[in-house]
Amino acid sequence: MKRILLLFFSLLMVVTVGCTKTSESPSPSAIPTLEPVQEVIPSDYFPMTPGSTWGYIGDGNEYASYTQTVLYNECSYFQVSRDNGGTVTSTVYYVSDNDIRMVLSRGEEYDKANIISEPPNTDEIILKTPLEPGTEWESGSIKRRILSMDDTIATPAGLFEDCLTVRSDYPDSYIIDYYVIGIGLVYTEFHSGDDIITSSLEFYDIAD
């Protein structure tokens, strides 16, 4: 009889210990959850709201200073006017989650008419995914590469950190562009032989 009681209490202790461990397990509400990270896409570096304006101060060439304004938007196409004091150029960009493409560019557009619906005359990828150093692509004779995602550059408009920098190689020259999320292009450096021409952001107004 004693052996039976001993066996019974031994089993009871095992069951009790097992229940105790189960009751101490964390509830689902106690398990921390991670907030989803929002992916950065090319259009984050190209704010294209009509009415947005940027002004740049040039050095090294009389036409390196210019103003740029977004004029029109139709679906994923945006028309930008650039005035450097010598001519006015209208450029149409196609903006997607994967890339930014220049599809139409025309000079002497002083009347700033809407040309978005006109036939494309180019297909040049300005920026593409994945947005990370080392990403490379080609558009005709132009080779582009993302150099960095965290550069810092000082301009008359302020000190900008976490710049995305892109190098564009042409047959006889190269350009390095600095972009900032929510602002766009803040600095350009053109190299040809010993010549260096720069355009630095002086002011900007991003429309709502």
What is the Cα 116 distance to its own chain's centre?
Answer: 23
pLDDT at 204: 98
Please classify residue 150 by burial: count the beta carbons closer than 10 Å to its beta carbon, then call 0-12 exposed, 13-18 middle and 19+ buried. Answer: exposed
pLDDT tens digits for range 184-199: 999 999 999 999 999 9
Average pLDDT over the chain, rounded to whole? 87
- Note whether residue 19 is domain-resident: no
| Bridge partners of residue 174, in order along the sequence | 169, 191
- Residues of the chain with pLDDT > 90, as a percent, come to 80
- Note whether residue 32 is domain-resident: no
pLDDT-based confidence at 34, cuts 50/70/90?
Answer: low
Is residue 1 over pLDDT 50?
A: no
- Note whether residue 58 is domain-resident: yes
pLDDT at 8: 36
Is residue 23 over pLDDT 50?
A: no
- Sign of the Cα torsion 192, 155, 99, 85 reads negative
81 or 2, which is more confident? 81
DSSP E strand boundaries for 96-173:
99-106, 124-128, 136-139, 142-155, 158-169
pLDDT-based confidence at 13, cuts 50/70/90?
Answer: very low
- Note whether residue 26 is domain-resident: no
- Note whether residue 38 is domain-resident: no
Residues with Cβ within 8 Å of residue 99, at least 6 apart in sequence:
42, 125, 126, 127, 128, 129
- Note whether residue 33 is domain-resident: no
Is residue 95 over pLDDT 50?
A: yes
Is residue 6 over pLDDT 70?
A: no
- Note whether residue 14 is domain-resident: no
pLDDT at 36: 53
Residue range 88-103: average pLDDT? 97
pLDDT-based confidence at 203, cuts 50/70/90?
Answer: very high
pLDDT tens digits for range 56-81: 999 999 999 999 999 999 999 999 99
pLDDT tens digits for range 125-171: 999 999 999 999 999 999 999 999 999 999 999 999 999 999 999 99
Domain that holds residue 180: 45-205
- Nearest in space to 165 (alpha carbons), one of 82, 41, 45: 45
State the CATH number of the domain containing residue 68.
2.40.360
Structural domain count of the chain: 1
pLDDT at 7: 36
